[in-house]
Structure 1
Amino acid sequence: MKGINMTIGIVIGFTVIIFLGFLMLKGRTTQASPNISDKVLETKNQTVPDLPVGFGYKCMWFAVKTDDKAKIARILGIKNVKECNWKVGIEKAYAGSIFITPAIDGWTLSCGVGLPHDGSEESIYEVKELLQILSKEFGEAQFFSTHRIVEYHCWMKATDGKVSRVYSYLGESGENILIEGTPIGFEKSLKLANTFSDEAKDNKYFEREDITWADEELVMKIAGEWSIDPSQLDKRKDVAPSLGLLGQK
């Protein structure tokens, strides 16, 4: 009988230990769940400041020398403007909206496939008008666009209300859409394709190895020299969490 009682006692003891362990584990899980829930909510809440998110490929953007996001929104004619963080803003920009970023190194970027540019010559002139207005207001404004599927690449620059440089190339047709002004900075070291030139009348021109044909990496490099390379923003460690503006054209 004594042995039986001892066995029962041991079983009861183990049961109590297991039960207490279960309660402790449950308590820890309950304490941790609010943090997990908060993180989920944070990623969905566009008003929570966050760090920069890289973009640029298959997109278009203005770079303006100012930190006045609201005035940029008015000049670009953006509607339904609301504060928004990087994560949601960039995601929406690729879905048709326009995201105006917080200022970085004195530059504010306005990006999104909803901007008025489809690669046509008409839309290029529309962008030129906006650059003239933006640069007259803020001193300097730039525009960049790149589309991987049709291999369309474009960059423009304006200072004090005057457009000084336009370069656009459509790889799908193998021709430039519009070229204005002379190369700036890094461009000078390249022999950029110019299908309007007399040289291009010779078919061998398109086989020359000394000709530089625009691609998306070149767009990023020029953007980085002129102002900001947006494809590298997520690598920045010197930018504090912040909010931009989100709207539609």
Structure 2
Amino acid sequence: MQKMAWLAVRDRDPAAALGLTELGEVDWRSGVDLAYFTDDRVIVTPQLDGWVLVLGMALLKDRPDVTGLSATLGTEVQFFSSHRGLQVYRWQRARDGDLLRSFASAEGEIDELGEASDLERSFGELVDDGDVHRVAAQWSVDPGTVNVPVRVFSTGTVRPDVR
């Protein structure tokens, strides 16, 4: 996915904490299209190996506060985003209200917190959307490997206290 954002939440359904309104269930491809081509829809997967994914352009626009969300849900929350056209890539990992790792690269400028993994160090100075997916696969689930029915939600707007 050249341009997308998603959350991975361990063992919890984050829909209520994000203030989402359920609209129904669709197949994976239709859900990804909705998540990609609209900025007020997200899709939520069933649990996949202990993780629930929330995908949508709305998360790229209104980036969730992974630290606050992980504290609210009492679990691990991860955020990933890539925008190849703007050369902006990000991943974050928080557990029980503590930010463990944060990496952002915007047009080659890097901002990070926490220790990089061996995988991250192997990327070198320039990262791309494939690297975002590789980190997601190492930490939880890469949505590029998923093909399950998903629930579609309206964001209305992502709650301001969850940025």
| Shorter-chain TM-score tier | 0.7 to 0.9
Aligned partner (choices 183, 191, 203) of residue 116 of structure 2: 183
Query: What CA distance in whole angstroms lies between the structure 1 residues aligned with 2:12 and 2:151?
Result: 10
**Residues 245, 185 of structure 1: alpha-carbon distance in 2 compared, 3 angstrom cutoff:** farther
**Structure with more strand by fraction:** 2
Normalising by structure 1, report the TM-score.
0.56
- TM-score where L is the length of structure 2: 0.82
- Name the CA shift for 1:213/1:165 in 2 (closer, same or farther; >3 Å): same
Q: Does 1:61 align with 2:6?
A: yes
1:145 aligns with 2:89: no
The separation in 1 between residues aligned to 2:149 and 2:56, in whole angstroms, is 19
Q: Distance in 2 between matches of 1:57 and 1:67?
A: 27
Displacement of 1:134 after TM fit?
2.8
The number of residues matched between the two structures is 152
Q: What's the counterpart of residue 34 of structure 1? A: none
What letter is aligned with 2:2? Y
The residue number in structure 2 matching 1:245 is 152
1:69-80 to structure 2, matched below 5 A, reads 72-79=14-21
CA contact (8 A) 1:58 1:147 kept: yes
| Deviation, structure 1 residue 185 | 5.2
Change (3 A) 1:243 1:144: closer
Shift of 1:166: 0.8
Q: Secondary structure at the match of 1:133?
A: helix
SS at match of 2:7: strand
CA separation in 1, counterparts of 2:58 and 2:93?
20
Q: Once the two structures are superposed, what CA deviation does each residue of 1:22-81 show, in whole Å capped at 9, x if it has no partner?
A: xxxxxxxxxxxxxxxxxxxxxxxxxxxxxxxxxx4310000000252xxx11211223x2
Secondary structure, in 3 states, of the residue corresponding to 2:46?
coil
CA distance in structure 1 between the partners assigned to 2:125 and 2:46 by the alignment: 34
Q: Which has the higher contact order (CA 8 A, sep 6+)?
A: 2
Residue equivalent to 1:226: 139
Aligned pair partner of 2:46 in 94, 97, 102 = 102
Structure 1 stretches of 4+ with a deviation exceeding 4 A read none
Q: Radius of gyration: which is bigger? A: 1
C-alpha distance in 1, partners of 2:68/2:146? 27
5+ residue gaps, structure 1: 1-55, 193-210, 235-240
Distance 2:91 2:82 in 1: 9
Q: How does 1:186-225 map to 2 (within 5 A)?
A: 186-187=119-120, 189-190=121-122, 211-225=124-138
Describe the shift of the 1:158–1:245 C-alpha distance in structure 2 as closer, same or farther (beyond 3 A).
Answer: same
- Aligned-pair identity in percent equals 30
1:67–1:107 CA contact under 8 A, matched in 2:
yes
